[in-house]
A and B are shown apart, each in its own frame.
Chain A
Amino acid sequence: MSSAAILAVDGLSVSFPGLRDERTEVLDGVSFDVRRPETVALVGESGSGKSVTALTIMGLLPETARIDGGRISADAKLAMIFQSPRASLNPLVKAGDQIARVVRLRAGESAKRARAEAVELMEAVGIDDPERRYHAYPHQLSGGMAQRVMIAMALAVRPELLIADEPTTALDVTIQKQIFELLGDLQSRYAMSMLLITHDLAVVAETSDRVVVLYQGRVVESGPAREIFERPQHAYTQRLVGSILRADKRVPLTTVEEPV
């Protein structure tokens, strides 16, 4: 573990039950680290293992999963936000109370002080009129607002590393921009590192210092974002970078064959 790393994943292998008696290897010797303070993007497409990596780090793997090898060293408090904010919140508990519960778990505060801190956190994540919104239930929140509540819950832990698993995939692009602006502000304010899990290279370009590319459970390439975009080495990374479409540029649509 290098001196500045606050999270080091070293040779992580994870498997799930497969068909018959065999096990399906989902992660195969995954290694990377996150330093302080930076944003690392864990990039991959469906089935690459990027979400399983995050769940393993957070200790949230389902019981059927097995860690076959490797180690994870974290020298920091971690928190995580998820792709579907409304589905990740408890539908029966007021938004503010969900944040206050995390505050109490962290600090053992009195209910009154936890409530006051929850309101402060709601304000910090840009929720207007937090006193009133405190009493809103998740179904009364828009997707963007629900993700802000999730972020406030994460901040309640006072994390040094935030793991964000596709935090804006379910949101409209104008809301996505607001959420990433908020995360950027919070990172500078609280000196927080971020591990961003995403399939969207455009988002990576706008947010991340370094990139780790996962493909079929293995890290195929990693490095500074600019190098990955400008000089991708591995064939898969080249294909990913080559598939980027830009709204400000027309590219010739010629490749018709389905890549295998």
Chain B
Amino acid sequence: MSEPIVNVEDLCKTFHSHGTDVRAVDGVSFAVDPGETLALVGESGSGKSTTARCMVRLTDPTSGRILFRGQDIAALSRRRLRALRRDIQMVFQDPHASLNPSMTVRQTLREPLNLHGGEGAVTEARLRELMERVHLDPNLLSRRPDQLSGGQKQRVGIARAVATRPAFVVLDEPTSALDMSLRVSLLSLLAELQRELGMAYLFITHDLSTVRQLADRVIVMHRGRVVESGAVDAVLDSPSEAYTKALIASIPVPDPSRRQRPQAATA
């Protein structure tokens, strides 16, 4: 077995609100292997998004360690952290809010390459290749976000995240702001990029149907704690914890012939 690329050890994050402490993340530990997709699943208030934000240091953990290749992300200085950004990237939930509206796609994609791209100048050819990698027409490089569809914007967000060939990408609900018919193609793109580039994903979502399609392993969170974890098929087919069972039982089944309480249809 290879060494995990990320080790999270006893992560805690407490928020102070109106004089009380809220333990949003309460002693969470897990490891991510290179090249795998680990899903972090939960409902609102489960702590999944706070965990994700700690992983990329968008928020500072209260305690615990986040080891990336043995280095504690939680304890790094800003300068050292910046060097790591090349390897740790994030795709955000809302593509409308996570792209700078005044920048063209070209400028958006240039930025990570200028900061972390290393060798040589950022050539037009490299940007066009990046666009093709996410199946976007390179002619869209001159567009601004308001001239793109929601699905195109999220592809730009993904291109920005993979531009520096990171080893670890946090996907924060990457399809939940998109129309259903765009979900499958976006998940397919993420799977394809992983095959080509070999990065590990931490896939944050509330949607177990996308977990089944994309993830290898899953961690179920509830009220800041991990309640269950394991291989996706094992957890979804035979959950052992009551909360996981309730969560799975709540998912609507898209099959009208299995509708449980048929109502009197009109003749």
Please tell me if the beta carbons of A187 and B213 are within 8 angstroms of each other in the complex.
no
Q: Which of B13-21, B52-60, B253-261 is found at the contact surface with chain A?
A: B253-261
| Residue from the set B135, B212, B248 with the largest chain A CB neighbour count within 10 Å | B212
The answer to whether the Cβ of A45 comes within 8 Å of any Cβ in the partner chain is: yes
Cα A253 to Cα B213 with chains together (Å): 7
B100 interface residue per 8 A CB criterion: no
> Is there an interface contact between A174 and B152, defined as CB atoms closer than 8 Å?
no
The verdict on A115 contacting chain B, using a C-beta distance below 8 Å, is no
Say yes or no: A205 contacts B255, CB within 8 Å: yes
Is A4 part of the binding interface, using a Cβ–Cβ cutoff of 8 Å?
yes
Minimum C-beta distance from B179 to chain A (A): 4
B136 (CB) vs chain A CBs: closest residue: A258
CA of A70 to CA of B180, assembled, Å: 30
Binds B, one of A57-65, A78-86, A158-166, A194-202: A194-202
* A207 surroundings in chain B (CB, below 8 A): 259
Q: Using an 8 Å CB-CB cutoff, how does the interface string of A239-260 with B read, 1 for contact, 0 for none?
A: 1101111111111011111110
User: Looking at chain B, what size class is its interface with the partner chain?
Assistant: 35 or more
Pairwise interchain contact B256-A205, C-beta atoms closer than 8 A: yes
When distances are taken between beta carbons in the complex, the residues of chain B under 8 Å from A248 are: 212, 236-237, 253
Q: Give the residue name and chain of the A residue nearest to B42 (CB).
A: A172
A172 touching B185, Cβ below 8 Å: no
Stretch at the interface among B80-88, B102-110, B165-173, B188-196: B188-196
Q: Residue on A with the closest CB to B137? A: A258
Q: Does B211 contact A247, Cβ atoms closer than 8 Å?
A: yes
Looking across the interface, which residue of chain B has its beta carbon closest to that of A47?
B179
Q: Do the beta carbons of B188 and A199 come within 8 Å of each other?
A: no
**B180-224 vs A, Cβ < 8 Å mask (1 yes, 0 no):** 111111011101100000000000001011111110000000000
Scoring A143, A180, A203, A250 by chain B CB atoms within 10 A of each residue's CB, the highest score goes to: A250
A245 contacts B264, CB within 8 Å? no
In the complex the two chains form, is A258's CB within 8 Å of B155's CB?
Answer: yes
In the bound complex, residues from chain B placing their C-beta under 8 Å from that of A202 are 209, 251-254
The stretch among A12-20, A34-42, A87-95, A133-141 that forms the contact with chain B is: A34-42
CA–CA, A55 and B182, complex, Å: 26
In the assembled complex, B72 has its CB within 8 A of some CB on chain A? no
**Given A201-B254, A205-B254, A253-B187, residue A38 in contact with residue B214 (CB < 8 A):** no
A234 in the interface (beta carbon within 8 A) = no
Cβ-defined partner of B254 (8 Å) among A177, A184, A246: A246
Docked pose: A54 CA to B266 CA in angstroms: 22
- A257 lies within 8 A of B214 (CB): no
A197 CB to closest chain B CB (Å) equals 14
Chain B residue nearest in CB terms to A199: B180
Asked if A206 contacts B253 (CB within 8 A), the reply is: yes
Q: Contact residue range for chain A?
A: 35 or more
Inter-chain CA distance A38–B213, complex, in Å, is 34
Q: Which of B129-169 contact A (CB under 8 A)?
A: 135-136, 149-152, 155
A37 B208 Cβ-Cβ under 8 A: no
Distance in Å: Cβ of B162 to nearest Cβ of chain A: 15
Q: Which residues of A contact B94 (CB under 8 A)?
A: none
Is A176 engaged at the interface, CB distance under 8 Å to the other chain?
yes
A46 adjacent to B44 (CB under 8 Å)? no
CB pair A243–B183 under 8 Å, yes or no, is yes
Asked whether A117 is an interface residue with its Cβ less than 8 Å from the other chain, the reply is no
Picked from A4, A46, A174, A253, the residue with its CB within 8 Å of the CB of B266 is A4
Expressed in whole angstroms, the Cα–Cα distance for A237 and B50 within the complex equals 37
Inter-chain CA distance A225–B203, complex, in Å, is 33
Q: A32: CB under 8 A from chain B?
A: no
Q: Could you tell me the distance between the alpha carbons of A251 and B189 in the complex, rounded to whole angstroms?
A: 14
Question: Is A226 engaged at the interface, CB distance under 8 Å to the other chain?
Answer: yes
* Interface presence of B265 (CB below 8 A): yes
For window 220-247 of B, CB contacts with A under 8 Å fall at 233, 236-237, 246-247
Report if A188 contacts B (CB, 8 A). yes
* With A35-B266, A259-B182 as contacts: A245 and B210 at CB distance below 8 Å: yes
Q: Which residues of A contact B259 (CB under 8 A)?
A: 205-207, 225
- How long is the Cα–Cα vector from A200 to B250 in the complex, in angstroms? 14
Give 5 closest A-B pairs by Cβ, nearest first.
A202-B252, A202-B254, A172-B43, A245-B209, A45-B179
A-B residue pairs in contact (CB < 8 Å), sample of 21: A4-B266, A45-B179, A172-B206, A176-B252, A199-B179, A200-B252, A202-B251, A205-B252, A225-B256, A243-B181, A243-B183, A245-B184, A245-B209, A245-B213, A246-B212, A247-B208, A247-B209, A248-B253, A253-B188, A257-B185, A259-B181
- Which of B's residues lie within 8 Å of A, judged by CB? 43-44, 135-136, 149-152, 155, 179-185, 187-189, 191-192, 206, 208-214, 233, 236-237, 246-261, 263-266
